[in-house]
Amino acid sequence: MALAAVRRLGRDLAASTRARATGVVCQAEVCSASSTEGVRSLDPATSVSPSWTTRRSRKLCESASASASASASQGGDEYDVVVVGGGMIGSALACGLKHGPLTSELRVAVVDKEKQQGWGAESRRGASVPDIRVSTLTPSTLGFLDRVGVGSNLLPPVSASFDSMQVWDAFGRGHMQFSSPTFLGQVIENEVLKEELQRRAEELGCDFVYGSVTDIAVPRPKVGITKAPEEKPGGDGDRSVISFASGLSISTPLVVGADGAQSLVAKKAGIRFLEYNYGQRAVTCALRVSEPHSTAFQRFLPTGPIALLPVRGGYSNVVWSTTVAEAKRLESLGSKEFARAVDDALRSEPASAGGDVHFFSPATLGSAVSTLLGGRRRTNDVGGDLGQVTETRGEFVDPPEVLEVAGTSQKSFPLGSKHALTYCQRGVVLVGDAAHRIHPLAGQGVNIGFGDVECLMIVLQEALWSGQDYSDLLTLEKYSRERRIANAAMIRTLDAVKSLYQSQYTPLALTRNLGMDILNNSGPLKDAIVGYASSNATAKKIF
């Protein structure tokens, strides 16, 4: 199997090197390793572990490279799909393609900077403190991961799941609680998920190509057959060519940009973005808390939301979005001080209702509302005055006490939203963060990325079913249209939620307090929100 892969990789060189290869056992290894000879002269670092070779063949190369000699392949290898970026989304797409009944035939390569090791589910089980970079996976994302065959490796204790979510704000005790009989979300370290998906992709026969990408030549946007200029020897034609620092290149009809927010693929394809900087930063780290919790807490402070999520091993993870200055200050705090700050932010008493900024007292507003709602609603808990509303249903759960920072100290990252004007171009398609970046307040960033992956899989499948060119703009535009609408809706919603909660204008604050309670007590509406928050599929139905 490995031999076959290597042979395929070194196809161009095979004829010339095979004659020279003296090793009896690893003839094919030499073929592939020999092409690194050219690399060695350029960069001493890459000669030890040739950056462009596939992961599967790498070990073999290392042993054989000393004796190899041949010139580097210029034509490069051809793949049906090349995924640039082997992160969670990129690897998931590779797995997904290999799982589809029609797409499994495609030769898929995943391009990544370097191989990372030691983050697999097995090795992380022993590690005590979880990494600070975590993702919340919704049930629909987990369903997808199950289908590609990694779901079972991600179950607790590798991850932590929460079955309820409590949202409230700094001004009142009006809150919203969501719960699910099974689970609402599962929190997992990004690196664990990434490594599991990479392992699975490799198992399914995807080639991993490691090296730093220097250039991606994408096809010309428009096709003119007879008027088109003669093809260059490098072959721009209908294919993209991905060049590596080592001087080698691979070509493909379809490049998938899964290379994150600073996507090189998007840049090379000339795809433009709508960007919006929130002027905020989020501080995050792992925390040790007084008792493990299975509720995700989120409190909207005037400066931004703070969220406490349960993570593996009884630890918690905090994501605190706040102003840049405040973020810098928080980042510089010591372990104990930061823990105290988080504790304060989560557990401090609501700002006094009769404060000087309030135009109406909660009681006044409450009675006004009850008059408006009349007797009809009196049976439905939302009567009386505001003071009692929070006591009625879905008891307020106090977040656990935050003790100290666990593992690495807190880090901050800038917040903003970014959305590509189109997700595709001829022969190029963007998925995940390469196409969109959103506010982390709903923990949806990675989930809409997985939604992209599923949609792209279906679209490619459909194209193959009707024998269409899967790399054609016609096919890719269907994906772009569908996902752009769904993701734009998510971005707008989060923008709106964020601005609503940041408002300190009292009537608005009180209304949202009340609104939250009304929501909390109305079944169908809440179900719809939970359904939306925990599934990508429903997003489609709304439009």
Partner 1 sequence: MASGIAQRLWRHADWSLAKSCSKWTPLGGASARRRSGWFSTTSEEASGTARSVDAKEVAKFAAMADEWWDTAGPYGALHRLNYARSPFIRMAVCDHYGKASTGRRPLEGLSLVEVGCGGGILSESLAVMGSDVKAIDAAEESVQVAKKHLKRNALLRSRTNLTYEATTAESLVEKGEAYDVVVSSEVVEHVLDPPGFCKTLSNLCKPGGLVVMSTLNRTLWSYSLAIVAAERILGMAPRGAHDWDQFVTPEELCIMCEDAGLELGSISGMRWSVPKGQFELTKDLSVNYIAAFRKEPPRQDET
Residue 167, amino acid: V
Interface with partner 1, residue 253, by CB under 8 A: yes
Query: Between 274 and 474, whose beta carbon lies closer to partner 1?
Result: 474
Distance CA 306, CA 87 (A): 26
Q: Which of 37, 163, 477, 495 binds partner 1 (CB under 8 A)?
A: 477
Interface with partner 1, residue 102, by CB under 8 A: yes
Pairing between β-strand 108-112 and β-strand 207-210 as defined by DSSP bridges: parallel
DSSP, collapsed to helix, strand or coil, labels residue 373 as helix
Question: Do 135 and 88 form a contact (C-beta atoms < 8 A)?
Answer: yes
Interface with partner 1, residue 395, by CB under 8 A: no
Question: Shortest Cβ distance from residue 461 to partner 1 (Å)?
Answer: 11
Interface with partner 1, residue 224, by CB under 8 A: yes
Residue 471, amino acid: S
Q: Which of residues 322-351 bind partner 1 (CB under 8 A)?
A: none
Query: Between 238 and 385, whose beta carbon lies closer to partner 1?
Result: 238
8-16, 226-234, 304-312, 341-349 -> range binding partner 1 (CB under 8 A): 226-234
Question: Shortest Cβ distance from residue 126 to partner 1 (Å)?
Answer: 43
Cβ atoms within 10 Å of 192's Cβ, excluding its own: 27
* CA atoms within 13 Å, Cβ hemisphere of 106: 31
Q: Which of 22, 25, 152, 227 binds partner 1 (CB under 8 A)?
A: 227
Query: Between 115 and 481, whose beta carbon lies closer to partner 1?
Result: 481
Tokens matching residue 257: 């940009």
Residue 508 backbone dihedrals phi, psi, to 5 degrees: -65, -45
**Site map (CB under 8 A) of partner 1, residues 412-451, x = contact:** ----------------------------------------
Q: Which of 242, 341, 473, 491 binds partner 1 (CB under 8 A)?
A: 473
187-195, 219-227, 281-289, 397-405 -> range binding partner 1 (CB under 8 A): 219-227
Question: Shortest Cβ distance from residue 34 to partner 1 (Å)?
Answer: 24
110-118, 221-229, 275-283, 408-416 -> range binding partner 1 (CB under 8 A): 221-229
Interface with partner 1, residue 231, by CB under 8 A: yes
Interface with partner 1, residue 236, by CB under 8 A: no
191-199, 259-267, 344-352, 459-467 -> range binding partner 1 (CB under 8 A): 459-467
Q: Which of 2, 474, 528, 542 binds partner 1 (CB under 8 A)?
A: 474
Query: Residue 446 class from Cβ within 10 Å (0-12 exposed, 13-18 middle, 19+ buried)?
Result: buried
What is the DSSP annotation of 285-352?
EEEEESS--SEEEEEEETTEEEEEEE-GGG-EEEEEEEEHHHHHHHHHS-HHHHHHHHHHHHHSPPPP
Distance CA 460, CA 469 (A): 9
Q: Which of 78, 122, 381, 404 binds partner 1 (CB under 8 A)?
A: 78
Q: Which of 223, 368, 496, 528 binds partner 1 (CB under 8 A)?
A: 223
Query: Between 36 and 422, whose beta carbon lies closer to partner 1?
Result: 422
Interface with partner 1, residue 233, by CB under 8 A: no
Which residues 6+ apart lie within 8 Å of 369 measured at CB? 382, 514
Distance CA 371, CA 375 (A): 8
Question: Shortest Cβ distance from residue 249 to partner 1 (Å)?
Answer: 15
Site of tokens 């752009």: 484
Work out the angle between the directed axes of helices 88-99 and 190-203 (0-180°, nearest 10): 30
What is the DSSP annotation of 33-100?
HHTTHHHHHH-HHHHHS-TTSBHHHHHHHHHHGGG---PPPSS-EE-SEEEE--SHHHHHHHHHHHHS
Q: Which residues bind partner 1 (CB under 8 A)?
A: 78, 80, 101-102, 105, 222-227, 231, 237-238, 253, 462, 464-469, 472-474, 477-478, 481
